[in-house]
Amino acid sequence: MDTPKNLPTLDAAQIRVLGALMEKSKTTPDYYPMTLNGLAAACNQKTSRKPVVNYDESTIIAALNSLKIAGLISTATGGSIRNIKYKHNFAIVFPVLPSEVAVMCLLFLRGPQTPGEINTNSGRLYEFDTLEEVQQVLEKLASDEHGFIKQLPRKPGQKEQRYMHLFAGDIETFEEEYIAEENPKNNNELEERLSKVEEELAELKTNFDKLMKELMG
Protein backbone atom coordinates (compact mmCIF):
# COMPACT_ATOMS: atom_id res chain seq x y z
CA MET A 1 0.00 0.00 0.00
CA ASP A 2 1.35 3.43 -0.88
CA THR A 3 1.37 6.43 1.41
CA PRO A 4 -2.01 8.15 1.10
CA LYS A 5 -2.18 10.94 -1.44
CA ASN A 6 -1.01 14.36 -0.21
CA LEU A 7 0.21 12.90 3.08
CA PRO A 8 3.78 13.99 3.90
CA THR A 9 6.29 11.31 4.86
CA LEU A 10 7.99 12.37 8.08
CA ASP A 11 10.97 10.90 9.90
CA ALA A 12 10.97 9.91 13.56
CA ALA A 13 12.31 13.26 14.82
CA GLN A 14 9.74 15.24 12.82
CA ILE A 15 6.91 13.08 14.14
CA ARG A 16 8.13 13.43 17.75
CA VAL A 17 8.48 17.23 17.45
CA LEU A 18 5.07 17.62 15.83
CA GLY A 19 3.42 15.31 18.37
CA ALA A 20 5.03 17.13 21.30
CA LEU A 21 3.74 20.49 20.05
CA MET A 22 0.26 19.04 19.57
CA GLU A 23 0.31 17.58 23.09
CA LYS A 24 1.65 20.60 24.95
CA SER A 25 -0.78 22.99 23.23
CA LYS A 26 -3.47 21.21 25.27
CA THR A 27 -1.70 19.99 28.41
CA THR A 28 0.43 23.08 29.20
CA PRO A 29 -1.23 26.00 27.39
CA ASP A 30 0.53 28.55 29.62
CA TYR A 31 3.86 27.47 28.12
CA TYR A 32 2.61 27.29 24.54
CA PRO A 33 3.85 28.23 21.93
CA MET A 34 7.01 26.44 23.02
CA THR A 35 10.65 27.47 23.26
CA LEU A 36 13.39 25.23 21.91
CA ASN A 37 14.37 24.19 25.44
CA GLY A 38 10.79 23.36 26.36
CA LEU A 39 10.31 21.40 23.17
CA ALA A 40 13.52 19.44 23.72
CA ALA A 41 12.29 18.43 27.18
CA ALA A 42 8.90 17.45 25.74
CA CYS A 43 10.47 15.33 23.00
CA ASN A 44 12.83 13.55 25.38
CA GLN A 45 10.54 12.99 28.36
CA LYS A 46 10.52 9.46 29.66
CA THR A 47 6.77 9.16 30.26
CA SER A 48 4.01 8.87 27.65
CA ARG A 49 6.57 8.27 24.91
CA LYS A 50 7.39 5.24 22.79
CA PRO A 51 10.18 4.97 22.05
CA VAL A 52 11.98 7.12 24.63
CA VAL A 53 14.57 9.23 22.78
CA ASN A 54 17.36 11.65 23.60
CA TYR A 55 17.42 14.13 20.72
CA ASP A 56 19.97 16.93 20.86
CA GLU A 57 19.06 20.49 19.90
CA SER A 58 20.50 20.22 16.40
CA THR A 59 18.21 17.24 15.66
CA ILE A 60 15.17 19.13 16.94
CA ILE A 61 16.10 22.31 15.05
CA ALA A 62 16.50 20.32 11.82
CA ALA A 63 13.08 18.75 12.37
CA LEU A 64 11.54 22.16 13.10
CA ASN A 65 13.00 23.67 9.95
CA SER A 66 11.69 20.88 7.73
CA LEU A 67 8.27 20.94 9.41
CA LYS A 68 8.11 24.70 8.90
CA ILE A 69 8.85 24.28 5.18
CA ALA A 70 6.01 21.74 5.04
CA GLY A 71 3.71 24.23 6.74
CA LEU A 72 3.08 21.92 9.71
CA ILE A 73 4.56 24.33 12.25
CA SER A 74 5.14 28.06 12.44
CA THR A 75 7.14 30.43 14.64
CA ALA A 76 5.25 32.62 17.08
CA THR A 77 7.95 35.21 17.79
CA GLY A 78 11.15 36.45 16.22
CA GLY A 79 14.54 37.25 17.67
CA SER A 80 17.39 34.89 18.44
CA ILE A 81 17.06 31.13 18.17
CA ARG A 82 16.69 31.02 21.97
CA ASN A 83 13.68 33.34 21.93
CA ILE A 84 11.78 31.85 19.01
CA LYS A 85 8.63 29.96 20.00
CA TYR A 86 6.97 27.27 17.97
CA LYS A 87 3.39 26.10 17.40
CA HIS A 88 1.86 23.35 15.30
CA ASN A 89 -0.46 23.89 12.34
CA PHE A 90 -1.76 20.33 12.07
CA ALA A 91 -5.44 21.31 12.25
CA ILE A 92 -4.81 24.11 9.75
CA VAL A 93 -3.07 21.92 7.17
CA PHE A 94 -5.52 19.02 7.56
CA PRO A 95 -9.32 19.19 7.99
CA VAL A 96 -9.50 17.60 11.43
CA LEU A 97 -11.51 18.14 14.60
CA PRO A 98 -10.02 18.46 18.12
CA SER A 99 -10.93 14.84 18.87
CA GLU A 100 -9.05 13.74 15.75
CA VAL A 101 -6.02 15.88 16.62
CA ALA A 102 -5.93 14.16 20.02
CA VAL A 103 -5.92 10.69 18.44
CA MET A 104 -3.19 11.61 15.96
CA CYS A 105 -1.13 13.13 18.76
CA LEU A 106 -1.28 9.90 20.77
CA LEU A 107 -0.30 7.80 17.77
CA PHE A 108 2.62 10.16 17.04
CA LEU A 109 3.94 10.03 20.61
CA ARG A 110 3.08 6.51 21.77
CA GLY A 111 3.09 4.40 18.62
CA PRO A 112 0.30 1.96 17.70
CA GLN A 113 -2.64 2.03 20.12
CA THR A 114 -5.89 0.17 20.67
CA PRO A 115 -9.16 2.13 20.99
CA GLY A 116 -9.14 1.32 24.71
CA GLU A 117 -5.60 2.68 25.13
CA ILE A 118 -6.52 5.84 23.26
CA ASN A 119 -9.61 6.28 25.44
CA THR A 120 -7.48 5.87 28.58
CA ASN A 121 -4.57 8.06 27.47
CA SER A 122 -6.47 10.92 25.85
CA GLY A 123 -7.92 12.54 28.98
CA ARG A 124 -5.72 15.64 29.01
CA LEU A 125 -6.00 16.09 25.24
CA TYR A 126 -9.69 15.42 24.66
CA GLU A 127 -12.42 13.90 26.80
CA PHE A 128 -14.16 11.15 24.86
CA ASP A 129 -17.60 10.26 26.17
CA THR A 130 -17.50 6.60 25.17
CA LEU A 131 -15.25 3.98 23.63
CA GLU A 132 -17.64 3.96 20.67
CA GLU A 133 -16.80 7.61 20.04
CA VAL A 134 -13.11 6.74 19.92
CA GLN A 135 -13.86 3.96 17.44
CA GLN A 136 -15.83 6.36 15.24
CA VAL A 137 -12.92 8.80 15.16
CA LEU A 138 -10.49 6.01 14.28
CA GLU A 139 -12.71 4.78 11.46
CA LYS A 140 -12.98 8.30 10.09
CA LEU A 141 -9.20 8.84 10.21
CA ALA A 142 -8.69 5.47 8.47
CA SER A 143 -11.26 6.22 5.74
CA ASP A 144 -10.34 6.99 2.16
CA GLU A 145 -11.23 10.62 2.81
CA HIS A 146 -8.39 11.00 5.29
CA GLY A 147 -6.12 7.96 5.08
CA PHE A 148 -4.15 9.14 8.13
CA ILE A 149 -4.08 5.80 9.95
CA LYS A 150 -4.60 2.09 9.41
CA GLN A 151 -5.62 -0.91 11.45
CA LEU A 152 -2.99 -3.47 12.39
CA PRO A 153 -3.53 -7.21 12.84
CA ARG A 154 -4.87 -8.09 16.28
CA LYS A 155 -2.21 -8.74 18.89
CA PRO A 156 -2.40 -12.32 20.24
CA GLY A 157 -4.44 -12.46 23.42
CA GLN A 158 -5.83 -8.97 22.87
CA LYS A 159 -9.46 -8.34 21.96
CA GLU A 160 -8.91 -4.92 20.40
CA GLN A 161 -6.95 -4.21 17.26
CA ARG A 162 -4.33 -1.51 17.20
CA TYR A 163 -4.07 1.47 14.89
CA MET A 164 -0.93 3.15 13.58
CA HIS A 165 -0.45 6.48 11.82
CA LEU A 166 0.77 6.65 8.22
CA PHE A 167 2.80 9.84 8.40
CA ALA A 168 5.97 7.76 8.33
CA GLY A 169 4.66 5.87 5.31
CA ASP A 170 2.93 2.50 5.27
CA ILE A 171 5.71 0.49 6.84
CA GLU A 172 4.94 -3.08 5.84
CA THR A 173 8.12 -4.39 7.48
CA PHE A 174 6.83 -3.10 10.80
CA GLU A 175 3.77 -5.29 10.46
CA GLU A 176 5.81 -8.30 9.40
CA GLU A 177 8.23 -7.91 12.32
CA TYR A 178 5.31 -7.40 14.69
CA ILE A 179 3.51 -10.52 13.49
CA ALA A 180 6.70 -12.60 13.55
CA GLU A 181 7.50 -11.38 17.06
CA GLU A 182 4.06 -11.96 18.49
CA ASN A 183 2.81 -14.99 16.57
CA PRO A 184 2.60 -17.98 18.96
CA LYS A 185 3.02 -20.38 16.03
CA ASN A 186 6.42 -18.88 15.26
CA ASN A 187 7.39 -19.01 18.92
CA ASN A 188 6.38 -22.68 19.14
CA GLU A 189 8.36 -23.51 16.02
CA LEU A 190 11.41 -21.85 17.52
CA GLU A 191 11.04 -23.82 20.74
CA GLU A 192 10.73 -27.06 18.77
CA ARG A 193 13.87 -26.27 16.78
CA LEU A 194 15.81 -25.46 19.96
CA SER A 195 14.61 -28.68 21.56
CA LYS A 196 15.73 -30.65 18.50
CA VAL A 197 19.17 -29.03 18.58
CA GLU A 198 19.52 -29.86 22.26
CA GLU A 199 18.64 -33.51 21.56
CA GLU A 200 21.16 -33.67 18.74
CA LEU A 201 23.86 -32.15 20.95
CA ALA A 202 23.10 -34.67 23.69
CA GLU A 203 23.35 -37.51 21.16
CA LEU A 204 26.66 -36.18 19.84
CA LYS A 205 28.02 -35.94 23.38
CA THR A 206 26.97 -39.54 24.10
CA ASN A 207 28.63 -40.79 20.91
CA PHE A 208 31.75 -38.73 21.66
CA ASP A 209 32.03 -40.15 25.19
CA LYS A 210 31.55 -43.67 23.84
CA LEU A 211 34.28 -43.11 21.23
CA MET A 212 36.70 -41.73 23.83
CA LYS A 213 36.15 -44.77 26.08
CA GLU A 214 36.89 -47.10 23.16
CA LEU A 215 40.04 -45.19 22.29
CA MET A 216 41.19 -45.10 25.90
CA GLY A 217 40.36 -48.80 26.33
Domain spans, the chain: 7-93, 96-170, 183-216
Instruction: Report the pLDDT value the prediction gives residue 76, as an integer from 0 to 100.
Output: 83
pLDDT at 190 over 60: yes
Cβ-count burial 173-193 (b if 16+ within 10 Å, e if not):
eeeeebeeeeeeeeeeeeeee
Domains 7-93 and 96-170 share a fold: yes
pTM of the model: 0.76
The C-alpha atoms of residue 62 and residue 58 are separated, in whole angstroms, by 6
Residue 55 has pLDDT above 90, yes or no: yes
CATH architecture of 96-170: Orthogonal Bundle (1.10)
Whether the per-residue pLDDT at 107 is higher than 80: the answer is yes
Q: Does residue 2 surpass a pLDDT of 60?
A: no
Quick: pLDDT tens for 25-36: 999 999 999 999
pLDDT at 80: 60
7-93: what fold?
A: Arc Repressor Mutant, subunit A (1.10.10)
Quote the CA–CA distance of 134 and 66 in Å, as a whole number.
Answer: 31
Where residue 214 falls among pLDDT bands split at 50, 70, 90?
Answer: confident
What order do you get walking across the sheet with 34-35 strand by strand? 34-35, 85-88, 73-75
